[in-house]
Amino acid sequence: MLVRTALRTISTSLARRAYSTAIPAGYTPLTVDGFVGAVGNTPLIKLKSLSEETGANIYGKAEFMNPGGSVKDRAALYVIEDAEKKGLIGPGGTVVEGTAGNTGIGLAHICRAKGYKCVIYMPNTQSQGKIDLLRLLGAEVYPVPAVAFDNPMNYNHQAKRHAENMENAVWTNQFDNIANRQAHIETTGPEIWAQTFGKVDGFTCSTGTGGSFAGVTRFLKEASDGRVKAFLADPPGSVLCSYIKSNGVLLDRSGSSITEGIGQGRVTDNLAQDIDLVDDAMTISDEKTIKMIYRLLDEEGLYLGASSCLNVVAAYEMAQTLGKGSTVVTLLCDGAYRYAERLFSQSWLESKKLRQEIPAHLEKYIVLP
């Protein structure tokens, strides 16, 4: 009896072991080398409800699934590795950057992984959640008044001066360091091309530094022999839409936006490389963006930040322009976790005159006072 019981136990154990170690068909096991190895190779998510509504295929590249939580992990890795290759920073050195948040978070993560110190200057208009996270990641953070780029007290200029006054320190200069753009030429663009089997018809996203939009656009244009259309998406208060539509004549910066980290008052060096490849541009209102935040949460289960949802609105409108059967891709830059205290707050929505934009069936998501 004991022998039979023992044999049954062994047989059951072996069966379980065989089951647990079996590799599902079509699955490729993947391990990566630390935080740095986990950057990139994000999924491409089909947005089902919007695709059905337009008759097109609308996809969002899930950049919020990067290990630091945003698309900026890619640029952060490339600007640091560019500094290393050029001998601008050595072991134990300091990385200094001016950033509206997500690049700083990516830099802080990668600095920890590589053993560097991290110093961040940022506009004091950014969410407290981003500031707190940067400090939790070990960065020195200096929130400074938000002033125009041509003002010497702009956060980027302060970051540059900080690095110049230190030994073994580098200002990574994300806005005009084209290693940022190169990250997307070498990674994001090729990933989109492979994930759509080369059948992408349109790409759109907003720009802050211009690196993501320019790099992806450059790769897709070259891979498709110019067939893929590129539309730049702009929030209110940014000059880029007016600049592109007027062939470089107008720089209209009227208005402001609830989005963070996107929009621009100038053409950065990252964007300047490829601005002639842009087919069109559109300004996306805050009203459309806030509706899309709530809609994607309700219909797709996607908890996304405002810049991601502005991109999705742009992809929806681009799909309507390109027509049924087209395939349009955008970037889902980051999640809503860093902005929840604003985006889902009754008082904040009212202060921005956006409360009335939330449809009745979506009001259940306004859970904060």
Point out the residues that are catalytic: 72
Angle value at C-alpha 48, between 44 and 49, nearest 5 degrees: 140
Identify the H or E element spanning 119: strand 117-123
Sign of torsion, CA 143 145 149 153?
Answer: negative
Q: Report the C-alpha gap between 146 and 141 in whole angstroms.
A: 15
Q: Sheet of 169-171: strands edge to edge? A: 140-144, 117-123, 94-98, 169-171
Which tokens is 332 given? 């889902």
Q: Report the C-alpha gap between 189 and 263 in whole angstroms.
A: 21
Identify the H or E element spanning 84: helix 72-85
Q: Report the C-alpha gap between 338 and 152 in whole angstroms.
A: 29
Q: Which residues contact 35 (CB under 8 A, 6 or more apart)?
A: 67, 68, 109, 110, 112, 113
